[in-house]
Amino acid sequence: MSHTTSKTWVSPEAKEFETWAKVRDAISRISPRSPFAPKTFADWLAHRVAVKEDQLRNVASKIATVKKREGYEEVSLLPIFRGKQIEDQLALVLARETIWRPSLEPRPGRRIAPWPSYEEYKHEGDDRNKSGYSRFPPLPRDPGNETVNWKQRKPLDQYVFDEVGRRTTADEEEKAPAVDETFAAELIGASFLLLLDS
């Protein structure tokens, strides 16, 4: 396909043939013996028509779904926890200490780590991946003095709930409080616990 500054008219057929020529050359390099790749211009046109028909069917089904919904009445949604504001600064779902909570205020006595620098992202992501280790988000580090290199700044202690890739030890499992199953059934619901067991 030519991209010149002159305003030369090119027919749609010629444009399609140029597109086919590019695809044909790419197919000859990528998968020359593929039984699924179009071999001729006619096969290419049939493939393009099939793709356009499939897109048309998808759009038609979306329109039909929207038209079906028009007859239903809107359901009113209640606010989370019926609007009750919880001030304990714990996670709303599991009531655990975590950074994932609605309040932006830091917990008392806890410092907020600044966003990591580009170098730290690269070190923890791409460079770690090249050496065969998994990528991890950078650790939250003490904001302290910003002129100090990020490697020299002490990582902040993470909440147990937020630690990534942490394995529990046998000692920690022994120290964990026993779960009262009747209380758990009351909180979560017996039917949900049965689903978890199955």
Query: What averages of pLDDT result for each successive group of 10 residues across the chain (198 residues)?
Result: 71 92 90 88 94 96 88 78 78 80 76 84 77 76 85 85 71 72 74 76
Amino acid at 82: R
If you write DSSP's letter for every residue of 123-167 in order, what string do you get? Answer: IIIIIHHHTTSPP-PPPPB--S-TTS-GGGSPBPPPPGGG-SS--
The whole-number pLDDT of residue 57 equals 97
Give pLDDT, residue 170. 74
Domain extent listing, the chain: 1-43
CA distance 110 to 157: 9
pTM, rounded to two decimals: 0.41
Instruction: Please report the pLDDT score of residue 158 as a whole number.
Output: 82
